């Protein structure tokens, strides 16, 4: 799926009413998907997000808190998996890790490159890199393994054809 094809799904997901009052909702809502070609992107499976660091994510020293960085990795890799998974299934974290290499600061516009490395029937693997302002230096690297549940995030994320396919097994089970 190209970035242009992913854009409507991205917008629908990050502004979904069920995310609005969650911990990650405000983070998703402030992600900007970069659609133009960018030197950091060299595979169709990658996404690039821009995010302006709010003061609320920073610690006493004015740098982004490690837990906030983990949330950015979680959210960005979730979006990369959503892009890669044609059936748009729900996911939940099994493992999340990060390596902090350089600080990110208040009001800095960071870039986050995320990619789904592999997706199977029940497990997805993704990775992300967070870059300091301008994308010149990697600040954080992270990986996530997610369990894939057998139902979509939201049926509205699916095409009509996908919805019909999902309903067929239920209808056949009811006939038995």
Q: What was the pLDDT predicted at 100?
A: 95
Q: Tell me how far CA of residue 163 lies from CA of 48, 86, 123, 166, 172, in angstroms.
A: 29, 12, 22, 5, 15
Q: Provide the pLDDT confidence category of residue 156 given band limits of 50, 70 and 90.
A: confident
User: 72: pLDDT confidence band, cut at 50, 70 and 90?
Assistant: very high
Mean pLDDT for the stretch of residues 31-58: 92
User: Is the pLDDT confidence value at 93 over 90?
Assistant: yes
Q: DSSP state, 40?
A: T
- Going by pLDDT thresholds of 50, 70 and 90, the confidence category of residue 173 is low
Domain count along the chain: 1
pLDDT at 163 over 60: yes
At 171 the pLDDT is: 59
Q: What is the pTM of this model?
A: 0.89
Full residue range of the structural domain in which residue 90 is found:
3-175
Q: What percent of the chain has pLDDT over 90?
A: 68
Take residue 57 and report the two structure tokens written for it. 């994510």
174 pLDDT higher than 90: no
One-character DSSP codes across 4-26: HHHHHHHHHHHT-TTTTTSSSHH
Segment 107-135, tens digit of pLDDT: 999 999 999 999 999 999 999 999 997 77
Backbone angles phi, psi at 75, to 5 degrees: -65, -45
Q: What is the CATH number of the domain that holds 100?
A: 3.10.129.10
Q: 119 near 169, Cβ under 8 Å?
A: no
Model pLDDT, residue 101: 95
């Amino acid at each position: 799926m190209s970035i242009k094809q992913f854009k409507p799904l991205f917008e629908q997901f990050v502004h979904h009413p069920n995310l609005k009052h969650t911990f990650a909702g405000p983070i998703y809502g402030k992600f900007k998907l970069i659609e133009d070609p960018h030197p950091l992107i060299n595979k169709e499976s990658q996404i690039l997000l821009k995010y302006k660091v709010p003061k609320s994510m920073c610690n006493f020293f004015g740098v982004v808190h490690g837990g906030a960085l983990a949330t950015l990795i979680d959210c960005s890799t979730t979006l990369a998996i959503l892009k890669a998974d044609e059936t748009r299934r729900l996911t939940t974290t099994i493992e999340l890790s990060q390596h902090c290499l350089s600080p990110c600061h208040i009001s800095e516009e960071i870039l986050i490159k995320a990619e789904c490395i592999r997706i199977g029937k029940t497990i997805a693997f993704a990775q992300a890199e967070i870059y300091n302002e301008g994308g010149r230096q990697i600040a954080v690297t992270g990986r996530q393994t997610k369990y894939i549940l057998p139902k979509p995030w939201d049926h509205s994320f699916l095409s009509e054809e996908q919805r019909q396919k999902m309903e067929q097994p239920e209808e056949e089970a009811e006939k038995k």
